[in-house]
Amino acid sequence: MPKVKVARKSTWVDMTAMCDVAFLLLTFFILTSNFIQKELVQVVTPTSISEIKVPEVNVMNILVGKDGKVVLGIDNEKYRRELLDKIAKAYSLTFTPKQIEAFGLSNTFGVPVNYLGSVLDMNPEKRYHPENVIGIPSDSTNNQFKEWVRYARQVNPQIKIVIKADKDTPYKKIKDVLGTLQGLNENRYQLITGMEEAPKLPKS
Cα–Cα distance for residue pair 49/55, rounded to 1 Å: 18
- pLDDT per position in the chain (204 positions), as tens? 566 666 666 666 677 777 778 878 888 777 776 555 555 555 555 454 455 566 678 889 998 888 888 999 898 899 999 999 999 999 999 999 999 999 998 888 889 999 999 999 988 788 878 788 888 998 888 899 999 999 999 999 999 998 888 888 888 888 888 899 999 999 888 877 654 444 455 555
pLDDT at 198: 44
Strands 70-74 and 160-165: unpaired
Short-list 37, 43, 79, 81, CA closest to 63: 43
Domain ranges of the chain: 47-195
